[in-house]
Amino acid sequence: MPQPRNVFLFTDSSGYGGAEKALLMLIRGLNRELWSPTLVFHESAGIEPLVAGAAAASCELVPVPAMPEGLVGARGSLRLAALLRRRRPHVFHAHLTWPLACKFGLAAAVAARTPAIVATHHLVPPFRLMRGARVQQRLLGSRLVRRIAVSGEIARRLEALFGWPRQQITVVYNGIGVEVQPATADASLRAQLLGNHTAVVLVPARLDPLKGHEFLLEAARRLENVSVVLAGEGPERARLEQLAEKLGVSARVTFLGFRSDIPQLLACADVVVLPSLAEGLPLAVLEAMSAGTPLVATAIGGTDEAVTDGVTGLLVPPRDGNALAEAVERVLADPEKAQRRADAAAARVATEFGVERMVARVESVYDEQLKRVRRAQD
């Protein structure tokens, strides 16, 4: 039997969110008879869940120094290229949390002539692309790097932003694995989250500006007897805590910080809300759908490829606290209808967004790239 081919999975992230969860699921799911994964990362307390999970999955760990903008990053890229020439992986797969992430890692893979170079784009928020950045991306070469977009919307944005040929971009939807399958509601946890209120609204998302938490806090003013629970950590926490105080809703808003028991929290929630302003294909949405918990989310690209309004959840315009409040009230006013939508969502995730499908699609991209290299060498 042939030896497994080596895959170097690279991230320059310093936090643990949906992109890192997706990366960890890929590490766990890769067929070890065919692929041997190595996680290449910058050491940071924020990504410890990813590193620990990869280690538990018998994935080799290779920490490398951070590669910030400027000469320090360029030198780090040269050192990584030297490492890649020594180790000679078959595949270098970068995971980008925004369009210009991982550029030094990708440059190192190009310089080391790694046979297959793949970049997964998890998020493309609206931003202005400066001329220098555009030149850098062109130097990386769309023909040298196979692009994976986690949604059709991300693929369209990449094409428009960088002018990359659409045939160089493959859409591979994020998947959900058994670790986020429905859990049984814990009565004591439910009581803790509920407090003296009548319903629990859960937001399982990193506290980041693009997640739109502030608009749910605005909605909370209208949701008078509802406990709003924010499960996640991030740079927005202090500002959001101050905003909750200012809006007079802090007594009904709980900041849980980072949690590893998302399935249990989902089981205790009456409705999950994701008020994002921009997404790729949010795992928080797929997790809520998989758990069979009623869902309210914003009608933005990526999310609307997973959620059908009125069928598998409710979609509202972004940046609209009143619309969020109305949708939550609609769920709570008719829980039986909301549960029918949630059951339809769970069925859709099971058939269309399984982690096995995601991993198989990624493995096929690896194979296609390696075959392309062999053809070019013949």
What pLDDT score was predicted for residue 341? 98
77-106 residue pLDDT tens: 999 999 999 999 999 999 999 888 999 999
Q: Per-residue pLDDT for 48 more than 60?
A: yes
Q: Using pLDDT thresholds of 50, 70 and 90, give the confidence band for residue 47.
A: very high
Give yes or no: residues 197 and 262 share one domain.
Answer: yes
Mean of pLDDT values over 255-275: 96
Residue 268 has pLDDT above 90, yes or no: yes
Same domain, 253 and 126: no
State the pLDDT at residue 313: 98
**With bands split at pLDDT 50, 70 and 90, how would you rate the model's confidence at 359?**
very high
Q: Check whether residue 318 and residue 370 sit in a common domain.
A: no
Instruction: Check residue 181 and give its pLDDT.
Output: 56
pLDDT of 247 strictly over 80: yes
Cα(274)–Cα(230) distance, integer angstroms: 10
pTM here is: 0.92
Q: Are residues 360 and 221 in the same domain?
A: no
Domain count, the chain: 2
pLDDT digits (tens, 9 = 90+) for 10-35: 999 999 999 999 999 999 999 999 99
Overall average pLDDT of the 31-52 stretch: 97
Check which CATH number belongs to the domain holding 197 and give it: 3.40.50.2000
The average pLDDT across 53-76 equals 95
Burial class (CB in 10 A: 0-12, 13-18, 19+), 135: exposed
Compute the average pLDDT of residues 104-110.
Answer: 95
Instruction: Indicate if 329 and 183 belong to the same structural domain.
Output: yes
Same domain, 186 and 87: no
The pLDDT assigned to 182 comes to: 61
In which domain, by residue range, is 220 found?
Answer: 178-352
pLDDT higher than 90, residue 315: yes
The model's pLDDT over 164-196, given as tens digits with 9 standing for 90+, comes to 888 889 999 999 975 555 668 899 999 999 999
Taking a C-beta distance cutoff of 8 angstroms, is the pair 85, 77 a contact? Answer: no
